[in-house]
Chain A
Amino acid sequence: MGLFSSLIQRKFKNIAGRRYERILKEYKEFLLTEEEMMLPEIKSILMPLDRFIGEIPPEIYETLSAYNDARIILVYIIDAHVFHVIEQTLGKDISEEFRKKEENDGRLLLEKIAKNFEGLGISPQIRLFFGDKGEDVIKLAEKHDMLVLSKAYGSEITKTHPLSPVVLKIVQHVDIPVIVY
Chain B
Amino acid sequence: MRILVLIDGSKWSQKAALHAIAIAKRKNAKIILFSVLDRREAKAIAFNLSMRSDKIGEIKKFEEQIWKEMKKSVKEIMGGLLELCHEENVNCSMKIVEGIAKDEILKEANSGAYSLVVMGAYGKSGKTRIGSLLEELAGIIKPPLLIVR
Contact = CB atoms under 8 A, between A and B. Distances in A.
A169 B144 CA distance: 18
* Size range of the chain A interface in the assembly: 35 or more
- Chain B CB count within 10 A is highest, among A1, A7, A63, for A63
Interface residues of B, number: 42
B145 A180 contact: yes
A163 interface: yes
A62 B115 CA distance: 8
B80 A7 contact: yes
Given A40-B18, A168-B135, A180-B138, A59 B87 contact: no
A32 B83 contact: no
A17 interface: no
B145 A179 contact: yes
B14 A62 contact: no
B33 to A, nearest CB: 13
Interface of A: 1-4, 7, 29-32, 36-42, 57, 59-60, 62-63, 65-68, 151, 157, 161-163, 167-168, 171-172, 175-181
12 contacts: A1-B84, A2-B87, A4-B80, A29-B126, A30-B126, A39-B25, A63-B116, A66-B22, A168-B135, A171-B134, A177-B146, A181-B145
